[in-house]
Amino acid sequence: MSKDFVYRWGIFPLWLLLTATLFFRSPIPIDETRYLSVAWEMWLRGDFLVPYLNGNTYSHKPPLLFWLMQAGWAIFGVNEWWPRLVGPLCALVNLLLVRKLAVKLWPEQTAVALMAPWILIATLLWTLFATSTMFDILQTCCVLLGMLGLLEASQGATLKGWFYAAVALGLGVLAKGPVIFLHLLPTAALVFVWARQDKVAGYRWFGCLLLAILMGAAIALAWAIPAAMAGGDEYADAILWHQTADRTVGTHIHARSVFWYLPFLPMFLFPWLIWPRFWSNLRGSPFFTDDGLRFCLVWLASTFIVFSLLPSKQIHYLIPMLPAFALLVARILTRAEKPQRLVLELLLPAAFGMLGMFLLLLPQVPSLAKLNWVRNVEMGWGLSVLAVGMALAVSAVYFKKLSVGTVSTALVVSIFAGFVFFFQYNGLAYNLGPAAARVKAFNERGTPCAFVGNYQGQLNFLGRLTQPLPVLAGDQVAVWAEQHADGFLITLEREKPEEAAYLQPHREYWLVFRSAGQAAQLKPL
């Protein structure tokens, strides 16, 4: 079996292994359960314009992810497995598009195209979110399509390239809002840094870019305008302003320092950033003469700078820039390898081993031991990662070096083990199925129940609730309890109560069901 065959097709078993982690966990509250509930309520209403959550319009996200979920339900019927498979399928598209991009960037370097998906699938931040029911991997598909369009346009395929760019912008807005422009426009504007001057005429390039922006906006507005009209004034104001420019620039949600991302970079880009061979090959890399390397560097650096300057920051916001990193690493690692001392090859296995030791000792770390999930960690997780590190070390010694395929497989196997053990130890805290089943049973018996505090719709899809769950503020509880003496109240509380009709851990809190007669004991967050 040739090396090319392994790198061409071996990526699919790795993707299947990542996808198999879905069998070991339920939808994670609060984000995944919330998005499933939005899709479910749209389905119940037969309203595919305006997203709803627990009876109210949901303006925080556009509908593309919800449409993809409903498309599967239209074919297979309502189920849980299809919407959870949307994320991994988008991840597979990421891998295929990054290979396509590598072919466009380095048509004569076939090894880069074969290697790039292996780098991406084992870049830790991407790997952790590859199976999530969230928007970032879907958004990355749009970014990759847009970057492919920019390359096509810069290499002479003008109509095809700008069509790709326009579609990417439109779908990107429908996937996660106008943030797609922040991913694509800086690279497009810096075309003279990465493209050959004789192939790009300035006035023509920027004229076509403007047309692509207008076409992309038209695609998005084809949904936004009818949705704004159907959803009412408040919803229209939210999707056309507050959830776009206002939230991007003036938000206090997740507001953090301009340098907040920097300390996380070694973790985001593990294991490639600590591999000595990457740094060895990086020396003397032809950034000034290699158009592809400059393209990746402009894409990577501009995205990181723009998102560092924005006030709102979450680690998954940077996922769409990771293909640029994967392409750059793949190109650098396919250069003529410089001989490495064995001790340097063993640094990466040592890092895996240290991570395994850290997981073994995690419950004894004073600053972390107070967390519920840390207290539940047992030895299996750490031992499995330690075993991966030992296998890497044996491979390095036997073959005198590590291959990209070996390192990628080690990372994916470690993440697979991490998902299995984490949810084995903490499953009920991240599985709201039992609580949702109780609410569904209440509804079927006609027993009134209500949620006290900040409810994110996390029970609606899991319980297949067909009516919104009433939500109460603290000062409404006494009146509700008096009017519904046979009812139940649901709260999230910090401390485990001494008595309750039903309770289960909910991440770092407790989800508590109490009868109306126990209303005075409520201690909602």
| Amino acid of residue 108 | E
Same domain, 406 and 485: no
CB within 8 Å of 158: residues ≥ 6 apart? 208
**Boundary residue ending a domain (274, 307, 333):** 333
The secondary structure element, H or E, covering residue 89 is helix 81-105
Average pLDDT, the chain: 92
SS3 content of the chain, % helix, strand, coil (to 5): 65, 5, 25
Contact assessment for residue 158 and residue 199, using Cβ atoms and an 8 Å cutoff: no
Per-residue pLDDT tens over the stretch 306-338:
999 999 899 999 999 999 999 999 999 988 666
Same domain, 263 and 119: yes
pLDDT at residue 287, rounded to an integer = 81
Same domain, 460 and 401: no
User: Residue 48 domain-assigned?
Assistant: no
pLDDT at residue 327, rounded to an integer = 98
Same domain, 285 and 363: no
pLDDT at residue 342, rounded to an integer = 84
Same domain, 462 and 484: yes
Same domain, 317 and 356: no
What is the distance between the alpha carbons of residues 90 and 102, in angstroms, rounded to a whole number?
A: 18
Same domain, 320 and 458: no
Residue 35 has pLDDT above 80, yes or no: yes
**Boundary residue ending a domain (429, 447, 473):** 429
* Rounded mean pLDDT, 481-503: 92
**Boundary residue ending a domain (290, 305, 333):** 333
Residue 339 has pLDDT above 80, yes or no: no
Same domain, 396 and 290: no
- Percent of the chain with pLDDT strictly greater than 70: 96
pLDDT at residue 483, rounded to an integer = 93
Same domain, 374 and 295: no
Which range, 243-247, 284-288, 504-508, has the best average confidence (pLDDT)?
504-508
User: Residue 45 domain-assigned?
Assistant: no
Residue 248 has pLDDT above 60, yes or no: no
Residue 450 has pLDDT above 80, yes or no: yes
Q: 73 versus 341: which is more confidently predicted? A: 73
Contact assessment for residue 322 and residue 261, using Cβ atoms and an 8 Å cutoff: no
The pLDDT confidence band at residue 2, using thresholds 50, 70 and 90, is confident
User: Residue 18 domain-assigned?
Assistant: no
Q: Which of 123-137, 204-218, 247-261, 266-280 has the lowest mean pLDDT?
A: 247-261
User: Residue 34 domain-assigned?
Assistant: no
- Rounded to two decimals, the pTM is 0.94
Residue 45 has pLDDT above 70, yes or no: yes
Q: What is the DSSP letter of 470?
A: P
The pLDDT confidence band at residue 432, using thresholds 50, 70 and 90, is very high
* Rounded mean pLDDT, 159-166: 96
Helix runs in 177-289, H state only: 179-189, 191-194, 202-231, 233-237, 245-250, 265-268, 276-282
What is the distance between the alpha carbons of residues 463 and 24, in angstroms, rounded to a whole number?
A: 20
User: Residue 36 domain-assigned?
Assistant: no
Domain count within the chain: 3
Tell me which residue range forms the domain holding 504: 432-521
User: Residue 189 domain-assigned?
Assistant: yes
Contact assessment for residue 261 and residue 304, using Cβ atoms and an 8 Å cutoff: yes
For 98, phi and psi rounded to 5 degrees? -70, -30
Per-residue pLDDT tens over the stretch 377-406:
999 999 999 999 999 999 999 998 899 999
Same domain, 101 and 159: yes
Same domain, 399 and 455: no
The secondary structure element, H or E, covering residue 397 is helix 379-399
Same domain, 174 and 243: yes
